[in-house]
Amino acid sequence: MNSRGFTLVEWLVAMLLGLFLLAGVFTVFVMSRSSSEDAFDQSELQENGRLAIRLISQDIKWAGFFGAYTGQSTQVGPSLTLSAGSIVPASSDCLDERSVGSLPSNAGPIRGLWVSRVSTTKGLAGFACILAADRVANSDVISIKRLVGRPIPASEGLDKNRFYMATNSQEARVIKGSETRPLFGANNESQIWEYQHYIYYLSQEDGIPVLRKRYLTVNGGSSLIGGAMAEGVEHMILMFGIDDSVIPDGHIDRYLSADQMAAQSWNEGRVLGVRLFLLIRAAKESVRYKNNNTYQLGNLPPIKGNGDGYRRLLLESSIALRNPQIVTRSGT
C-alpha cells in the first residue's frame, strides 16, 4: 500500500483557509471589544448624568424653603434677625453681584435661587470665590439657599460648624450651632433647621470636566466639598419656566434664560419651574469613534463635537419650584 504526504498546493490551500478562519475570529474579537467599550462608555455617561441631575434637582426643588416662615420678608428686619455671632467674613464667603453673601442681609431679600452665567471669556457676575481658572465658559453657576434636613428637636445637639434658622409663621432667627436656641412666642412654637447656601458650578480636574459644590460652614465660610460631585459634566444650563398669561393660570407658557428674565416675572411669582440641561462627556477619547453630533442646550449656540473622539450624552430635566414666591431675579 503506497502512502504519501500533502502536496505543496494542499499545504497552501490549508494555510489560506486557516488565515481566513483566523481573520474571522480576530474580526469577531475586535467587534466584541468595540461593543464592550461602547456599552461601558454609555453606562458611564448615564451614571454620571443621573447622579448630577439627582443632586442638582433635589436642591433646586427646595430652593427658598424656610420652614414655617412663609409670607414674611426675607430681608433682615423686625421679623428676620441674625444672632451676634452669625457672621461670615467677606474674604471667606461667596458674594453675589450685590456683594451680599450666604446669610440673610438687610441689603435685599434672600435669593432662594440665583443663576449667573460664565461668559465666553470666563467672566462672572459675583461669586469671586470661584476663580476664573476654575470656571467653564458658557455654563451656569447655580446658587441655592434653603433649610435642609428636618426640624431638630431640643433633645438633639446642634453642629457647632453649621448655621441654623429658628422659624415660626411670624419670625425667623439665624444662629450658630454653638449658640442658644431662640424661643419664639409664649409656647415656644418655633422649629429649628440647618440653614444652607449651596453653589453648583463646573470646573476641570486633570482635563476632565466635573461638577463641584460649595456649602456653608461657620469656620470656613463658603467651603468647597472635596472631590467632584460628578465627573464628565461638560456644560450646565438652566432655563426658567414662566406663566405669561394675562391672568396667571399656573401653567408654564415659555422658558427663558437668566439674562432674558424680567423683574416683573419674579415679583409676580410667575416663575413656576426650571429646565436643567446637562451635557455629559466621556472621560477618555475613543480611537474608533468620531463625534460629529450637534447638541442644543437651552439658548446657547449649538455645541458641536467637531469630530473628536469623546462620546457625549445630552440630558434634560424639568423641575417644579415648590417655593416660587421666594425666588428673586437672576443675572449674568
| pLDDT at 331 exceeding the cut of 60 | no
Report the percentage of the chain scoring pLDDT > 90.
55
Sequence-distant (≥ 6) Cβ neighbours of residue 262 within 8 angstroms: none
Q: What is the pLDDT of residues 209-265, one digit of tens each?
A: 999 999 999 999 999 998 899 999 999 999 988 888 887 777 888 888 877 876 666
pLDDT of residue 324 exceeding 70? no
Section 274-284 average pLDDT:
93
pLDDT of residue 326: 46
3-state secondary structure 34-71: HHHHHHHHHHHHHHHHHHHHHHHHHHHHCCCCCCCCCC
Q: What is the pLDDT of residue 263?
A: 60
Range in 11-15, 41-45, 150-154, 262-266 the model is least confident about: 262-266
Give yes or no for residue 328 having a pLDDT over 50: no
Given a cut of 70, whether residue 269 has pLDDT beyond it is no
323 CA to centre of own chain: 18
Q: Are strands 172-176 and 80-82 parallel, antiparallel or unpaired?
A: parallel
Examine the pLDDT at 172 and tell me if it is beyond 50: yes
Q: How far apart are CA 240 and CA 262, in angstroms?
A: 11
Q: Where are the domains of the chain?
A: 39-326
**If you search the block for the grid coordinates 430681608, which residue do you land on?**
75
Residue 35: the pLDDT is 61
Q: What is the per-residue pLDDT across 6-38, written as a single tens digit (0 to 9) for each?
A: 677 766 777 777 777 777 766 665 665 656 667
Residues 6 or more apart whose CB falls under 8 angstroms from that of 123 comprise: 132
| Predicted pLDDT at 1 | 53
| pLDDT value of position 327 | 45
For 86, half-sphere exposure in the C-beta direction (CA atoms, 13 angstrom radius) is: 25
Report how far Cα 226 is from the mean position of its chain's Cα atoms: 16
pLDDT for 94 equals 93
For 215, residues 6+ apart whose C-beta sits below 8 A from its C-beta are 196, 197, 198, 199, 222, 223, 225
Query: What's the chain's average pLDDT?
Result: 86
Q: How does pLDDT run across 69-114, given as a tens digit for each residue? A: 887 888 899 999 999 999 999 999 999 888 899 999 988 888 888 8
Q: Which residue, among 132, 126, 133, 134, has the nearest Cα to 100 in the 3D structure?
A: 126
What's the gap between Cα 87 and its chain centre? 26
Average pLDDT over residues 132-160: 93
pLDDT at 208: 92
Quickly count: other Cβ atoms within 10 Å of residue 108's Cβ: 14
Q: Quote the pLDDT of residue 96.
A: 87
In this prediction, residues 159-164 reach a mean pLDDT of: 96
Q: Which three cell numbers stand for residue 197?
A: 447656601
pTM exceeds cut of 0.75: yes
Quick check: 189 pLDDT over 50?
A: yes
- d(CA 328, CA 265) in angstroms, rounded, equals 9
